[in-house]
């Protein structure tokens, strides 16, 4: 019976950890969708301006083309009065005007096609962002329910049958949550891939209609592919940074901080004391995610220019201290919900509590924020390097 209770506790902790990861991934999807939404709005405005200009040019050229045809008809009817050179010039002018008009009309069709396609993708991005925001709220509620009711559930069970049934329910809830996250990823990065396919088809069409425009369109497609690749790589890193498995906790943190400094133009100083040691996977992941969540909060809310992180490995525990010079906040007024704030700190506390650690957070408006936490290291946690 004792062995079964420990197994159930492990399932509960893994479930809470998985849902917390899902919440962060969904938030990243919402952020990506909002950014793409803004980019598409700018693109549509530019396309509308170009279409308006083309329409004006087509109208003007239609008048010129009509005059050229009338001139050609005139010299053709009265060829005795006009020279062969006059007739040839009239024919060439009419032909040139017609060709230019055809090219302008094709360009107008192409721009209208791009505008209509961008408007379809814009609506998809809007729907994706709305769904992701609602899902973040729902996952937050689920986290509160699970952390409050399931953390001590094994103590409330009176027999093995009840514990087995609860374990099945938890696994089912975990799988359902993964399905919802998979659907959101399908509506986000997968839509970007679909957009790339459509743009490639558009390039093929341009090869037939207007080859001179293919180069610009391919450059635009190249940029879209690069942005999509960056989004996919970021999702992969958020799911599981490979350097964490390959090299360990400290190298993974250093790599993450290097990327963070580059992407956010923030001065980040990292100090480490102790011997670099490999730990049990769940401990390394938890420590990494807590630091990652703290830096994500700094990026979103603190507006800090400088961040100091100190990590210390001592016998039987890991100590971490994080300080920023950002705007800070009033501790007594921060409650999860409402404006969407507070979930990051709540998730950090829950991770630390699951590993029987401790955390202290100090902040006030205009004076930055300090976070210090520790995680216990048991003999079973340590790997020989």
- Give pLDDT tens digits for 46-79: 888 888 888 888 888 888 888 878 877 877 777 6
Q: How confident is the model at residue 2 (pLDDT cuts 50, 70, 90)?
A: very low
Q: What is the pLDDT of residues 133-162, one digit of tens each?
A: 777 777 666 666 666 555 555 555 444 544
Closest CA to 26 of 173, 147, 131, 146: 131
The fold of 240-383 is Heat Shock Protein 90 (3.30.565)
Determine the Cα–Cα distance for residues 358 and 147; give it in Å rounded to an integer.
Answer: 16
Q: How far lies 359's CA from each of 13, 149, 354, in Å?
A: 18, 22, 12
Residue limits of CATH 1.20.1260 in the chain: 2-238
Determine the Cα–Cα distance for residues 350 and 287; give it in Å rounded to an integer.
Answer: 12
Residue limits of CATH 3.30.565.10 in the chain: 240-383
pTM score over 0.75: no
Q: What mean pLDDT comes out for the span 247-262?
A: 88
Q: What mean pLDDT comes out for the span 219-232?
A: 75
Q: What mean pLDDT comes out for the span 350-368?
A: 87
Residue 299 has pLDDT above 90, yes or no: no
Handedness of CA 135, 138, 140, 145 (dihedral sign): negative
What average pLDDT does the structure give for the chain?
77
* Three-class secondary structure assignment of 218-273: HHHHHHHHHHHHHHHHHHHHHHCCHHHHHCCHHHHHHHHHHHHHHHHCCEEEEEEE
Handedness of CA 325, 330, 331, 337 (dihedral sign): negative
Structure tokens at 188: 């986000």
Determine the Cα–Cα distance for residues 67 and 71; give it in Å rounded to an integer.
Answer: 6
Residue 203 has pLDDT above 60, yes or no: yes
Residue-level pLDDT at 134: 77
The dihedrals phi and psi of 235, each to the nearest 5 degrees, come to -65, -40
Domain 2-238 class? mainly alpha
Residue-level pLDDT at 158: 45
- Provide, rounded to the nearest whole percent, the portion of the chain with pLDDT above 90: 10
Residue 25 has pLDDT above 60, yes or no: yes
DSSP 341: B
């Amino acid at each position: 019976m004792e062995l079964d209770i420990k197994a159930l506790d492990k399932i509960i902790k893994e479930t809470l950890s998985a849902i917390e990861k899902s919440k962060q991934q969904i938030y990243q999807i919402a952020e990506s969708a909002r950014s793409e939404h803004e980019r598409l709005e700018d693109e549509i405005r530019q396309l509308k301006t170009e279409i308006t200009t083309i329409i004006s040019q087509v109208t003007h050229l239609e008048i010129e083309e009509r005059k050229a045809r009338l001139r050609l008809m005139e010299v053709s009817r009265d060829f005795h009065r006009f020279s062969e050179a006059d007739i040839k010039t009239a024919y060439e002018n009419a032909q040139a005007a017609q060709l230019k008009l055809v090219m302008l009309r094709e360009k107008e069709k192409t721009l209208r096609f791009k505008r209509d396609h961008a408007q379809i993708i814009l609506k998809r991005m809007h729907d994706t962002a709305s769904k992701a925001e609602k899902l973040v709220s729902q996952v937050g509620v689920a986290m509160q329910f699970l952390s409050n009711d399931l953390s001590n559930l094994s103590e409330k069970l009176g027999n093995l049958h009840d514990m087995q049934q609860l374990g099945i329910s938890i696994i089912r809830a975990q799988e359902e949550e993964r399905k919802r996250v998979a659907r959101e990823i399908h509506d986000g990065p997968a839509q970007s891939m679909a957009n790339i396919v459509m743009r490639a088809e558009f390039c093929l069409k341009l090869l037939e209609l207007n080859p001179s425009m293919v180069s610009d369109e391919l450059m635009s497609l190249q940029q879209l592919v690069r942005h999509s690749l960056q989004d996919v790589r970021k999702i992969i890193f958020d799911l599981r940074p490979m350097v964490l498995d390959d090299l360990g906790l400290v190298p993974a943190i250093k790599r993450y901080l290097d990327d963070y400094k580059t992407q956010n133009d923030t001065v980040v100083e990292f100090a480490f004391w102790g011997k670099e040691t490999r730990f049990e996977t769940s401990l390394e992941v938890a420590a990494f995610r807590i630091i990652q969540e703290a830096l994500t909060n700094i990026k979103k809310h603190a507006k800090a220019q400088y961040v100091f992180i100190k990590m210390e490995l001592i016998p039987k525990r890991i100590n971490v201290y994080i300080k920023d010079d950002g705007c800070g906040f009033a501790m007594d007024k921060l409650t999860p919900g409402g404006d969407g704030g507070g979930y990051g700190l709540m998730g950090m506390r829950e991770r630390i509590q699951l590993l029987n650690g401790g955390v202290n957070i100090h902040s006030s408006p205009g004076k930055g924020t300090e976070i210090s936490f520790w995680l216990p290291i048991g003999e079973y946690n340590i790997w020989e390097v």
